[in-house]
Amino acid sequence: MVIQSALLRDNVRARGRAGAKPDVEASPRRRRPRFNALTAFWLLIVAILVLPIALFLAVAFSPALLSQGPQWFTLSAFSAALSGHLLLGFVNSLVIGIVTAVSAAIIGFVLAWIVIRTDAPARGIWTGVVFALFLTPSYLIALGWERLLEPNGVLQTLGWDPAGARDLFYGPGGIVIVLTVKGIPFAYLAISNALRGLGHEYEDAVRVHGGGALASMRVVVSLLAPAIWAALAIVFAESVSDFGVASTLANDSHFTVATFELYTAVQAFPVQFPVASAISWVLLIFVVLALWAQSRALKGRSYRVLGGRSRRAVRRRLSKVEKAAVVLGMSLLILIALGVPTFGAVSASLIDGLGSVGGSHSWTLANYARVITSPDLSAPLLYSMQAAVIAASVTTVLAVVCARLLAAGQTSLSSRVLDMVLLAAVALPGIVFAAGYIFAYNLPLTNALGVHLYGTTVLLVLAYIATALPSTSRLLVGSMSQIQNSMLHSSRVHGAGAIFSWFSIVLPVISRPLLNAWLLTFTATLLELPVSQLLAPPGEQPISVGITVTLSKYDFGGGTAMEVLAILTALLVVLAATLIFRLATPRGWRTLGTAK
């Protein structure tokens, strides 16, 4: 009753707003909820993404606005950011971003194809590998390689001096390898989600018309263009904003990249927010260029391939030689991506003094025994897990809305603005977010309005959501853009309500991508560092900060043991969630994307 009267009230208001112009497109009753929900969504996006980013970016022009300098308008931060080795850093970042994006997209596509469309052996483990890769911080991959290749490192201790490999790795080559490895999961998830929704009818059509395997692959690649471009854009943005490699490998090989300069401006004393803000502007321009390329490539085409008539794909049977090649290739990738960093982390935590001329080099569990009983591990891990569960759940829901808006088409203004905001957010390193959040939610004005969010877990979780939302939404765009509205329309024609139709038609189709999105956000949030450092409430310590503090006390063994335990815990959650999905969902939900 209350709801009905509220509806009636809103209806009258909507008519009043319409005034003399009658709405001929749709009745106000149908448009109203969409408008309201959309407004609320945009308000949230402004609050958690646009406002913090905008305030941080404003500091470049007007340091006085946020008490970061005396000038109300100046361009001096830009002249500092665009001179000398800072300028070189931008050029290096741009080139590395492009090379990494292309490499990761190619490898991600090949992997997705092998896992979904062939009968390659051991393809089932790949989802686990992808999440392990998501979880492994880029600096850990870089450090693992450094431990192996450095002068008097593990390989040299074992009797082989890898001088040639060292020269190759300590420089742009190594940086591209590590960033590509970190980009592969993004590319793989974006492309595999879309590939699952692509029926076999298009390839059949090519073959019926006399096309060969190559022509059929070309059709598949062009039909997957939104996902491939999403992969390229996201890997590019992630690469130019990465700090893990910048602070380790790039720094050790004295190769300047933009993010390192940004962190130096923010974390070295005196803190120079205006310079960091100017660097962020340049990173944003990079993203605009990436988006421009993406929209040019996809302009005027439709990629709605997932409808009621989609056919299950057929797995290609590989020959023995092909299977051997696939196993070899995947093993090599796992070795490069996970084997070496695992070795780096595990060796430091399990073997006394490995990789140094000191120490007994014997196996020991002392580091694990020490950190498991330490209060520095359990309470922070529990705190971070709780925050990550909430952040992952809210982010997944919001990401569906974002992905739906983005998939609605590049033609609408709101879709383009959202696209820009989300990719901009990926391109800006976490610390920009974190500082922007302090600027936005610690203003005396905000406090005077009664908003006391800074220094609370609520704001930390909101920032986690904002950090994760861009990449999670982009991963879902590929799947959402495939869904043909005809399926929903038929459901509505047969009398089902909008909500029931969504849950019975759309949810089953995107259930697996949703699970992936949740797991991705959970795992990425659990070990997130910059936002945790600046926004964790006093008295609470997220696990990532605990690990960093331990490492900064030269306790590499203890720090890496904590890291290994945190990653193992997260992998257990991934395993449990996957099992629950398998047991709890109807069989039909899991059939989509599987091949015969």
CB atoms within 10 A of CB 267: 13
Say whether residue 383 binds another protein (CB under 8 A). no
Q: Which is nearer to another protein, 190 or 279 (CB)?
A: 279
**Least distance between another protein and beta carbon 269 (Å):** 5
In the complex, minimum distance from the CB of residue 432 to another protein, in angstroms, rounded to a whole number: 11
- 548 is a contact residue toward another protein (CB under 8 A): yes
- Tell me whether residue 68 or residue 473 sits nearer to another protein (CB atom): 68
Q: Which of 298, 379 has the CB closer to another protein?
A: 379
Of 53, 40, 64, residue with least CA distance to 437: 53
- In the list 27, 331, 447, 594, the residue contacting another protein (rule: CB under 8 A) is 447
Virtual CA dihedral for 212, 215, 216, 222, nearest 10 degrees? 180
- How far apart (Å, rounded) are the C-alpha atoms in residues 585 and 577? 12
- Determine if residue 451 is left, alpha or beta; phi over 0 gives left, psi from -120 to 50 gives alpha, anything else beta: beta
# binding residues, another protein (CB under 8 A): 54
Instruction: Out of 70, 151, 164, 308, point to the residue binding another protein (CB under 8 A).
Output: 151
Task: Mark residues 210-229: x for contact with another protein by CB under 8 A, - for none.
Answer: --------------------
Among 10, 201, 252, 322, which residue interacts with another protein (rule: CB under 8 A)? 252
Residues in region 316-355 near another protein by CB under 8 A: 353, 355
Grouping H, G, I as helix, E, B as strand and the rest as coil, residue 418 is helix
Amino acid found at 43: L
Q: Pick from 116, 142, 403, 435: which binds another protein (CB under 8 A)? A: 435
Per the structure block, which two tokens stand in for 427? 């391109």
Q: Which range touches another protein (CB under 8 A), out of 40-48, 334-342, 443-451, 579-587?
A: 443-451
The distance of closest approach from Cβ of residue 266 to another protein in the complex, given in angstroms and rounded to an integer, is 6
Shortest distance in whole angstroms from residue 369 CB to another protein: 17
Q: How far apart are CA 418 and CA 405, in angstroms?
A: 8
Give the integer Cα–Cα distance in Å for 203 and 13. 52
Q: Determine if 1 is a binding residue for another protein (CB under 8 A).
A: no
User: If binding is defined by CB under 8 A, does position 522 make contact with another protein?
Assistant: no
Is the CB of 214 or the CB of 448 nearer to another protein? 448
Examine residue 82 and tell whether it contacts another protein (CB under 8 A).
no
DSSP 315: P
The rounded radius of gyration (Å) of the Cα atoms in the chain is 25
Q: For residue 407, what are the contacts with CB-CB under 8 A and spacing of at least 6?
A: 477, 480, 481, 483
Q: Which range in 127-135, 225-233, 321-329, 552-560 contacts another protein by CB under 8 A?
A: 552-560
Q: Which is nearer to another protein, 351 or 399 (CB)?
A: 351
Structure tokens at 448: 């005077």
Query: Is the Cβ of residue 410 or residue 541 nearer to another protein in the bound state?
Result: 541
Site string for another protein, 110-149 (x = CB under 8 A): ----------------------------------------
272 binds another protein (CB under 8 A): yes
Q: Where does residue 152 rank: exposed (0-12), middle (13-18), buried (19+ CB within 10 A)?
A: exposed
Q: Rule CB under 8 A: choose which of 104, 257, 431, 519 binds another protein.
A: 431
Note whether 63 binds another protein by CB under 8 A: no
151 phi, psi to nearest 5 deg: -55, 130
> CB under 8 A: which stretch of 97-105, 384-392, 518-526, 548-556 binds another protein?
548-556
410: three-class secondary structure by DSSP: coil
**Are the C-beta atoms of 457 and 537 separated by less than 8 Å?**
yes
* Residue 527 DSSP SS3: coil
Token pair 């869904």 in the structure block, residue: 483
Q: Residues 450, 50, 520, CA angle at the centre, nearest 5°?
A: 105
Which residues have a Cβ under 8 Å from the Cβ of 115 and sit 6 or more positions away?
123, 126, 192
In three-state secondary structure terms, 118 is strand
CB 51 within 8 A of CB 440: yes
One of 74, 356, 456, 569 touching another protein (CB under 8 A):
356
- Quickly count: other Cβ atoms within 10 Å of residue 110's Cβ: 17
- Which range touches another protein (CB under 8 A), out of 93-101, 289-297, 483-491, 542-550? 542-550
Q: Is 444 in the site for another protein (CB under 8 A)?
A: yes
Out of 438, 469, 517, 531, which residue is the one contacting another protein (CB under 8 A)?
A: 438
Q: Segment contacting another protein (CB under 8 A): 191-199, 229-237, 251-259, 295-303?
A: 251-259
Instruction: Please give the Cα distance from 245 to 231 (Å, whole number).
Output: 20
Candidate residues 61, 145, 236, 273; the one interacting with another protein per rule CB under 8 A: 273
449 CB-near residues (< 8 Å, 6+ apart): none
Binding test (CB under 8 A) with another protein, winner from 11, 393, 533, 585 = 533
Question: What is the closest distance, in whole angstroms, from the C-beta atom of residue 492 to another protein in the complex?
Answer: 36
In Å, what is the CA distance from 419 to each residue of 45, 314, 426, 516? 12, 34, 11, 21
The minimum distance between CB 166 and another protein, in angstroms, equals 12
For another protein, the closer of residues 454 and 518 by Cβ is 454
Q: Would you say 165 and 153 are in contact if contact means Cβ atoms under 8 Å apart?
A: no
**Least spacing, CB of residue 594 vs another protein, in Å:** 46
Backbone angles phi, psi at 521, to 5 degrees: -65, -40
> Cα(115)–Cα(192) distance, rounded to whole angstroms?
9
> What token pair was written down for 106?
């190619």
With CB under 8 A as the contact rule, the residue among 268, 413, 499, 583 that binds another protein is 268
Closest separation in Å from C-beta 276 to another protein: 10
> Residue 174 interacts with another protein (CB under 8 A)?
no
594 lines the binding site for another protein (CB under 8 A)? no
- The site for another protein (CB under 8 A) is made up of 66-68, 84-85, 150-153, 247, 251-252, 254, 264, 266-273, 353, 355-360, 431, 435, 438-439, 442-444, 447, 454-455, 533-534, 536-539, 541, 545, 548-549, 551-554, 556
